[in-house]
Amino acid sequence: MSGLISKDSEGFYQTTSVGDAILKVLPSVQFLLQYREDLMSHDLSGLPVSFVERLGDLQNAEHVRHFSQATNLIKTMSSEAKEFLWGMGNEPFGLVARQAAQYLNRALTVRVITGQKIDGAEVGNLYPDRPEKFELANLQNVKVGLSINETLAWVNFPGPDGKIDYSAGFYGKDARIRGWCSDLFEYYWTRSTKVPIY
C-alpha cells in the first residue's frame, strides 16, 4: 500500500496525511475485533454513525459479562456519584426510582432518559425523595443503556432481540470512555422530550 508513509529529505520515514487518518481510525477497528465474539451477539445498528466511528474511545474499557458484576457496578456508580449522575435505558421507571433512592444523595444533578412512557405526576409519586436537580426525558426507541458520573461511565448494547442487555457492557474511568458515553448521552438528550415533574 503506497501513500501511507513517505521519506523526508533527511531519509526519515513519516506517515502521510492518509496514513495519519488511518491510524486515527484503527482504534475503532481494534475494539471491534477485540470484542467481536461479544459484539456479534449484540446490535450496534442503533448507534449514530459518528459514535460507531468513535468506538475506539472504548478501547481501554473493562468488559463486563455477568449480571452480578453489572449490578455491583451500577450500585458503585450511584453511591460514588458526588456531582452528577446521568442514565438512559428502557427499564420501568418505578424500579429505577426505588433503586436510586437507596444510593443517591440529594445534592446530585440527575438526568434520566427513559424509553418508557411516563408523566410528571407519576414521577412525583414514584420518586418523592428525588434529588432537587432531577430532570427526566422520554425517547422513543432507546437502543443503548448508559450510566455516567463524574469519574465513571458504563454502556450496554442491545441483544439480538432488541432489548438492552444489562448483564454485559463496557465501563471505565478513562477520559475517552467517559467522553464517548457523555457525548452519546447528550446526543440523545437533545433529541428527547423533556417531562415536566410536578
Torsion, CA 66, CA 153, CA 54, CA 52, rounded to 10: 50
Would you say residue 1 lies in a domain?
Answer: no
Is residue 50 domain-resident? no
Q: Is the CA virtual torsion 124, 127, 128, 129 positive or negative?
A: negative
Residue 80 lies in a domain: yes
Distances (CA, A) of 67 to 59, 108, 156, 165: 22, 26, 12, 9
Q: Which grid cell sits at 43?
A: 446490535
For residue 174, being part of any structural domain is answered with yes
**Quick check: is 39 in a domain?**
no
Question: Which grid cell sits at 58?
Answer: 472504548
pLDDT digits (tens, 9 = 90+) for 101-142: 665 666 788 898 988 888 788 777 777 777 778 888 999 889
Look at residue 177 and tell me whether its pLDDT is greater than 90: yes
The answer to whether residue 67 is domain-embedded is yes
Number of domains in the chain: 1
Query: Cell numbers at residue 132, please?
Result: 432537587
Q: Nearest Cα to 165, choosing from 154, 173, 157, 176?
A: 157
Domain with 71 in it: 61-195
Report the predicted TM-score, pTM, of the whole model to 2 decimal places.
Answer: 0.83
Q: How sure is the predictor about 178, in pLDDT bands with cuts at 50, 70 and 90?
A: very high
3-state secondary structure of 154: strand
